[in-house]
Amino acid sequence: MVEIKTDTSLDAMRAAGRVVAQALNAVRDTAAVGVTLRTLDETARTVLREAGARSPFLGYRPDWAPVPFPAVICASVNDAIVHGVPDGYRLCDGDLVSIDCGAALDGWVGDSAISFTVGRPRPEDTRLVDTAYEALDAGIAAAVVGNRVGDIAHAIGRVCRAAGYGILAGFGGHGVGRTMHEDPAVPNEGRPGRGMRLRHGMVLAIEPMLIGGGGDAYRTSGDGWTLRTTDGSRAAHAEHTVAITDAGPRILTAL
Ligand code: MG
Ligand code: MG
């Protein structure tokens, strides 16, 4: 079932989303060659704590996960696509990093992800990251009243495929509200004009996950969480929590 939020609830979700944006901003500022992923997680924890927010990631355990997620961010480096577990890995020159973060404030959740390079970027990584944001922007632009979920999916998929990239199979965006994952599912590829019609008050996490090598397949790492490309190519992920409103898409996880 899809919950339609009141305008008051959307404002409360905006407050939660702003905390996520602040955490991601702090992580991006902290990330540098030699910094560990665990330090990035601690940076996000501090922002959440100071804002009085709870992490919907910490302790999260979907039925496919062998252990509860142990951190407040996912940190996915290079061939890791999503769900990377922050550990003692030290960032290297030229790494491509994706950080996913959530926050729950006053009972409402925000969910957002950024990708960036550390040190001197490879040109192909810059193109991959730029395309992830371009796909996100296209998805957000399609998130308007009267459109359907398939219009968002189609907009995202078209950008990714036109650039020659793969799209992580079986994962995509989702409704967001009092919990992190709600209906409807928002795939990263699809047919326009299909699926649920978008209404004022719906809130969706839109999140393209691109694979540089062009294939859609993944493998799960030994930690049971991290999804990696099968060909060793790099991946990028960008996400915003977006409210559908009569005035157009409202990005709740912007700074
Ligand atoms: Mg996320
Ligand atoms: Mg999400």
Model confidence pLDDT, tens digit, residues 107-121:
999 999 999 999 999
Distance 207 CA to ligand 2 centre (A): 6
Distance 171 CA to ligand 1 centre (A): 11
Distance 30 CA to ligand 2 centre (A): 23
In the predicted model, what is the mean pLDDT of the chain? Answer: 98
29 has a pLDDT exceeding 90? yes
Domain formed by 7-251, architecture: Alpha-Beta Complex (3.90)
Between CA 216 and CA 168 the distance in angstroms is: 5
Looking at all shown ligands, the one closest to residue 83's CA atom is 1
Between CA 69 and CA 226 the distance in angstroms is: 11
Distance 101 CA to ligand 1 centre (A): 6
**pLDDT tens digits for range 136-186:** 999 999 999 999 999 999 999 999 999 999 999 999 999 999 999 999 999
Q: Ligand 2 is a single-atom ion; what residues have CB below 5 A from it?
A: 111, 205
CA angle 206, 52, 27 (to 5 degrees): 55
CA angle 157, 77, 158 (to 5 degrees): 5
Average pLDDT (10-20) is 98
- Put simply, whether the predicted model's pTM sits higher than 0.95 gets the answer yes
Cβ of 91: how many Cβ atoms within 10 Å?
22
1 has a pLDDT exceeding 90? no
C-beta of residue 167 within 8 angstroms of C-beta of residue 208 = yes
Distance 20 CA to ligand 1 centre (A): 10
DSSP secondary structure code for residue 2 in this structure: P
Following CA atoms 127, 129, 131, 132 in sequence, which dihedral angle do they give, to the nearest 10 degrees?
170
